[in-house]
Amino acid sequence: MRKRSQVIQMAVEQCVGIMNKVYGNFTTVETWRPKPFSATKGRYLWTDAYGVCNFISLFYETGAMHFLEQADALIKDVHDSLGKTRDLSSRLGQATDEHPLLGGLRIGKEKPEGLRDGDGQYYHYLTKWAFALNCMSKARGDAHYNELAVELIKAIHPHFVFERDSARPTMVWKTSIDLTTPVVHSEGNLDPFDGYATYRIIQNNSEIPSVLEREINELKRIVDLKYTTYTSDDPLDLGETLWITHFFIEEIWAKSMASAAYKYLEQLWQHEYFDMPLGYRLAFREFGTTLGVQVNSCEGKNAKWQERNESLYKDWLPKLYDRDNDITPVMFCSSLLPGVLYRDYPRSPAIITTR
């Protein structure tokens, strides 16, 4: 059996190769820029949030400062593209170069808004980006990134959460690019929990102790009424549930949802969902599963998934780039080397190398 250090080293080497392929080989701090995902798709917010986390995790595991520089360059590129209109002629809403997130961030869809699966703003992508900024704030020891996350949350929250003073606020899943119009009026299955956990993580790292108190309390009213009815048959949703809840696993709502997520994942496994031909499945959704079961032990319920994860990796690794060149390989890296996606991470890097 390989030692854990050997496993980590192999994962680091594999992730470096994949991140280089996705974003381009590192050159110098002055010249490196993340390459676009394709001729028609430059940046994509979900993928790049995981990309930032991956670069930061690689920094902690290797001590190589250039990984932080790459994370910084990716953050800037997202703010200068997805923080602008589709023609890149102006920033969104009231955003400025100094405060680039006051108008939110586009999804980065190839199709324009107004079309099915067109561009807009997704709540759960925005919270993922806020989490990535918080990770960068910790890695850099710089409050500015967390302040940007707070600004983003303050800007987008009123456009996704309604009836905010009621006993049970409501949420929408997607808005127009300018945040003025709900596009998908339904509430995301995880959105209240995602926002509640993310807001608390960011507030806990803020120099202003109650900076998001109102927003947290609004989502808590939804969480308290919704967590007992949680259900899902989506491997990504279930993995995300395990990831979200592991930050507060001692709390009743989180423990309840994690237990339910494991139950529904077990049903998927026993009903042979993961044995279906790969053409009927999506790799990045299953990498959400493999990530979630790693970080959330929930009273030891993840033990049997260690071997299952290896089986899923074996299935998907030869086809890592078959569907896309971005979301699938980037999420594979996040699953292979969760790093900053763990609640008790980061550790201090053992060696800090020069640029």
Residue 1 has pLDDT above 80, yes or no: no
Per-residue pLDDT, averaged over 336-349, amounts to: 83
Mean pLDDT of 138-156: 97
Residue 273 tokens read as 């969902």
pLDDT score recorded for residue 350: 35
Mean pLDDT of 20-37: 95
How much is the pLDDT for 354?
26
Residue 208: predicted pLDDT = 93
Amino acid 241: pLDDT:
98
The mean pLDDT value for 27-38 works out to: 93
The stretch 138-161 carries a mean pLDDT of 97
Of all residues in the chain, the percent with pLDDT exceeding 90 is 89
CB neighbours of 45 closer than 8 A, spacing ≥ 6? 78, 82, 105, 106, 107, 108, 122, 125, 126, 128, 129
Q: Are 131 and 49 in contact (CB under 8 A)?
A: yes
Q: pLDDT > 70: what percent of the chain? A: 96
Among 41-50, 185-194, 295-304, 344-353, the minimum mean pLDDT is found in 344-353
Mean pLDDT over residues 19-25, rounded? 97
What band does 131 get if pLDDT is binned at 50, 70 and 90? very high
pLDDT above 70 for 4: no
pLDDT of residue 347: 56
* pLDDT value for 355: 22
Residues 62 and 337: beta-carbon distance below 8 Å: no
Residues near 67 by beta carbon (within 8 Å), at least 6 away in sequence: 55, 56, 58, 59
What is the average per-residue pLDDT within 144-166? 98
